[in-house]
Structure 1
Amino acid sequence: MAHVDHSAATLRIGGDDLYPPEISALLGHAASQEQVKGEMYVGKVTGRSRTAKTGMWRLEATDAAPENLDGQIAELLGKLTGNLSVWAHIAARYKIDLFCGLFMNVSNEGLSISAESLKALGERGIELGLDIYGPDVPEEKENA
């Protein structure tokens, strides 16, 4: 099995009444990106102004090539408090997930996530989300 080509990971905490500076204070680290519900912001990809539908606090890990979700999880959690009571308090109020993009270069690439990483996520109430992107396949030309 070939290894997944590269990965991106972002810890996200969201909720309608979320106030990003409060999350930063609780976790001991500033967000990479943040928004308050109702606030105008510029989309990272589109560049268009939009109104935030919910509050959001995000912390991005360094992209990894080849994929290294264990390293990205360790990087993110290593920047934040290890106090599980703080995490429980946040998880009781907001949705927490680790959004991961996995980018394949060829079909049938794979990865493993260690029990240690899964335990660390579970202890903090962090849901793991995986978006898996297949290799770019050239479009077939129609027979003329």
Structure 2
Amino acid sequence: MSILFMSTVSIGFYGDDLEPEQITISLGDEPTVGVKKGEACPSATGASNPARTGSWRVSSENCQPGDVDGQINALFDGLSNNLSAWKAFAQRYRGRVFCGIFLGSGNEGLTLRPETLLRIGERGLLVDLDIYERDVTG
């Protein structure tokens, strides 16, 4: 298995009645994006559209070569270790660790250490993996 070409990670909560300020206070850091349902939310293209649901998320910078394990831990390290708060938010909202995985070839992979998996699980979060094939035509 070769080294992963590139990765990006975010940790977030999503829900129609989500109040970003409550999560910020409990988890101890400002989100990369914090928006209530219906509020203006910038898109990847820079346009601003009404948010379809509320969200609070912290995001890593893209990492090349990819380092999903390191990115997840760096994000957790900047947030509270109050597991009761994490679990309460995860039960009330859709809580997840999003991993964008960008392949440079057909045989790449990643490893998550047991300690990282424990940190995710003890907070009650889902893991979403989006795997992208590198555009070889461009």
Query: Could you tell me the TM-score, scaled by structure 2's length?
Result: 0.93
Task: Write the deviation string for residues 91-116 of structure 1: whole angstroms up to 9, x where unpaired.
Answer: 12111011111111111111111111
RMSD of Structure 2 on Structure 1 (CA):
1.4
Contact map agreement 1:9 1:60 (CA 8 A) in 2: yes
Distance 1:3 1:79 in 2: 26
Q: Does 1:88 align with 2:87?
A: yes
Distance 2:53 2:71 in 1: 26
Distance 2:104 2:15 in 1: 35
Q: Percent identity?
A: 40
What does residue range 1-144 of structure 1 map to in structure 2 within 5 Å? 1-43=1-43, 45-138=44-137
Distance 2:46 2:61 in 1: 22
Specify the structure having the higher radius of gyration (Cα): 1
SS of the equivalent of 2:91 reads: helix
Q: CA deviation at 1:5?
A: 0.7
Task: Write the deviation string for residues 2-45 of structure 1: whole angstroms up to 9, x where unpaired.
Answer: 111111001111111111111000101110111111112331x2
Distance 1:94 1:50 in 2: 22
Contact map agreement 1:107 1:135 (CA 8 A) in 2: no
Of the structure 1 ranges 4-13 and 33-42, higher mean CA displacement relative to structure 2 is found in 33-42
SS of the equivalent of 2:70 reads: helix
Contact map agreement 1:20 1:57 (CA 8 A) in 2: yes
Structure 2: which 5+ residue stretches go unaligned? Answer: none
SS of the equivalent of 2:24 reads: helix
Question: Quick one: structure 1 residues 12 and 138, their matched pair in 2 at CA, closer, same or farther if it must change by over 3 Å?
Answer: same
Letter in 1 for 2:82: N
Distance 1:138 1:63 in 2: 22
